[in-house]
Structure 1
């Protein structure tokens, strides 16, 4: 079940968070999760092995997501440790399409949402922001894996949005690998970029580092242009 706190677009779970929860049911270091429908909130879901994949669905309902282990390594992008104090957010606050999103929603309070607002880095096709997780995101001081997936999600989405000016995209597929889970209060940096666009599909990569440049986690994703 995806609790209501962890929403993305109104009425559905944050895509990265949902993928991270689902990935936790797959015994592999590198897991790919494909979303077939918006992940429902506050709904009991079954995770069942169906041949080579795991299917996620409500009892008696249609498949919401499919997960599987994969072998293709993630092409990890480098950190950005010198984010300028005057760096501009990728999207103006007034134009945010999902203001209550758990990861990037500007209407979420500190200690509730992650409030990761990916910012443009002048002269580079990279977005970045600082993030320090709070204790509500952790067990025994260690941030839960699905929270790391959520932190990697929206920055890649904002990079994808840059390829469809004025449009909106939603997460279709996400693959992530976690080297180490961050600790509560640890100063982190999230970086993201978009590296391809084909039809309605847009590719993105993101990574989470400590403020000193230690790689914590990395992801690749496919976003779907929902305005095309």
Structure 2
């Protein structure tokens, strides 16, 4: 069975010429009828290209008409681990890890060249004495539906790059790209609601690097959490 086409608009880029991995995974997950969905990216998700979602046995394949499979999605049962909240990001935390040698400066989620109100501008920081990265994020109205609720794929995007920067810490000077992501959303935030994003990386196996991220309100209410596998592209 083939679903109607989906498309990743150019605004939501990650690396130049391709979609932000978390945003793409979130859009794809929205086409899978399950509470918890794992999305594996096989190729960089193309921008401004009509893609078909086709149910093939237990998985859903995403591809352009007549083209190669870009991503595979499937329902999963394994719970997503939730990181503890960080309610206070100290002002003396080290500078954002995204400041130096950013490989994708126009990235929708973490690109420093994106203007406020255009990109998410989530610049995670190292917290002293912890293996956690964190930053504040307040969604703007362009990311929400008519009721002011942030669209789920934007939440996926907000969870994506913080985990990526945690993975980058395991490859100093190197670059990794998102390979697989699973996210659970308990509640989407609303426009103007201050949130805290936290992330860490807890394992590496060859080129694969594991990461976890979570989204909370400023008061510590859990909103969403994700696990991801990043691929070291410098090896």
TM-score by length of 1: 0.99
Q: Give how far 1:94 is off.
A: 4.0
Aligned length: 228
Structure 1's unaligned 5+ residue stretches are none
Q: Report the counterpart of residue 119 of structure 1 in structure 2.
A: 125
Task: Give me the whole-angstrom Cα distance separating, in 1, the residues matched to 2:136 and 2:52.
Answer: 35
Q: Report the counterpart of residue 162 of structure 2 in structure 1.
A: 155
Task: Give me the whole-angstrom Cα distance separating, in 2, the residues matched to 1:56 and 1:173.
Answer: 14
Q: Report the counterpart of residue 69 of structure 1 in structure 2.
A: 75
Q: Report the counterpart of residue 116 of structure 2 in structure 1.
A: 110
Match of 1:145 among 146, 152, 158: 152
Superposed, 1:21-60 pairs within 5 Å as 21-60=27-66
- 8 Å CA contact 1:15–1:39 kept in 2: the answer is yes
Name the SS for the 1:147 alignment partner.
helix
Q: Report the counterpart of residue 179 of structure 2 in structure 1.
A: 172
Name the Cα RMSD after superposition: 0.8
Structure 2's unaligned 5+ residue stretches are 1-6
Task: Give me the whole-angstrom Cα distance separating, in 2, the residues matched to 1:183 and 1:101.
Answer: 22
Task: Give me the whole-angstrom Cα distance separating, in 1, the residues matched to 2:214 and 2:185.
Answer: 10
Instruction: Indicate whether 1:95 and 2:125 are aligned.
Output: no
TM-score by length of 2: 0.96
- 8 Å CA contact 1:90–1:158 kept in 2: the answer is no
Q: Give how far 1:116 is off.
A: 0.1
- 8 Å CA contact 1:201–1:223 kept in 2: the answer is yes
